[in-house]
Amino acid sequence: MHEWFGDYLDACNRHDLDAIRGFLAPTVRRAHLPGGADAWIDDLGDLFRAFPDWRWRRIQLVAEGDRIAAHLRAGGTQVGAFRGIAATRRHVNVAEFAIYRLAGGRIVEATGSEPFELLDQLR
């Protein structure tokens, strides 16, 4: 599971949406967000357009059964609009926490921290 997550994080840090889609079940469920791989990819596309240098760094990873819990640091410089906020050119650095449930080598369910810290740094 640690190697799997490393591969997933690498695809995310390359902003490779096609590769990321390969880690997602087509009907992936996300807590408090629209479900499905298309919605996940659309949201990441919005993030990558606004923050073309966005990167994640793994702080801690715990794997148990079919679940992975990840503590990450992430950041980038906002050069495009994001969630209704015009480009600020601010560099943000945020903590992220997520729990993923996997089946067949793909994420089928995910929950995690909300982007409040990110949005606060942009305002």
* Pair 46, 39: CB distance under 8 Å: no
Averaged pLDDT for residues 103-117: 93
Give the chain's radius of gyration (CA, Å). 14
CA 14 to chain centre: 12
Q: Decide if pLDDT at 115 tops 90.
A: no
Token pair for 86: 């015009």
- What is the predicted pLDDT for the residue at 24? 98
- What is the predicted pLDDT for the residue at 33? 87
- What is the predicted pLDDT for the residue at 111? 96
81: containing domain: 2-122
- What is the predicted pLDDT for the residue at 78? 98
Token pair for 54: 């966005």
Using the structure block, give the residue that is written with the tokens 């990873």.
61
The CATH code of the domain that includes 86 is 3.10.450.50
Which residues, listed in sequence order, are joined to residue 24 by a DSSP beta bridge? Answer: 107
- What is the predicted pLDDT for the residue at 116? 87
Higher pLDDT, residue 68 or 116? 68
Q: pLDDT tens, 6-56?
A: 999 999 999 999 999 999 999 999 998 889 999 999 999 999 999 999 999
- What is the predicted pLDDT for the residue at 32? 86
Q: Quickly count: other Cβ atoms within 10 Å of residue 4's Cβ.
A: 16
Per the structure, the count of domains in the chain is 1
Ordered DSSP codes for 9-49 = HHHHHTT-HHHHHTTEEEEEEETTS--SHHHHHHHHHHHHH
Q: What is the pTM of this model?
A: 0.93
